[in-house]
Amino acid sequence: MQREIKYDTLETFLSDLNDVSINRIAFCETCENRSEQIEPHVLKVVYLDKVELIAYRDSVIYKCEMRNVARDSLYDKLVCLGYDVSRRNRNIT
């Protein structure tokens, strides 16, 4: 059975990846304006700036979501720590 583990901090996420010997991370970034429903029949355009770090091993998805983070610095940090990082763009437009 597949399960998903979500993390609040980067340090805990990376620690758990090291514990299970994962060195590949998907770096999924979203940086664009998106519509959000705030009430029935009312949409509001909001700026969405987030990064999701995702890893997978033995039917377990490890996920860490961060908002308003310096994306390039985070990417460089992960590469410097020895991770194989695949950068993905999740913008709709």
Q: What are the C-alpha distances in Å from 23 to residues 2, 37, 46?
A: 20, 37, 34
Of the given ranges (5-14, 21-30, 36-45), which has the lowest mean pLDDT?
36-45
pTM for the full predicted model: 0.85
The residue ranges of every structural domain in the chain are 3-89
Q: Mind listing the pLDDT tens digit for each residue in 33-80?
A: 988 888 899 999 999 899 999 999 999 999 999 999 999 999 999 999
Interatomic CA distance for residues 2 and 46, integer angstroms: 32
Top-level CATH class of 3-89?
A: alpha beta
Interatomic CA distance for residues 78 and 68, integer angstroms: 17
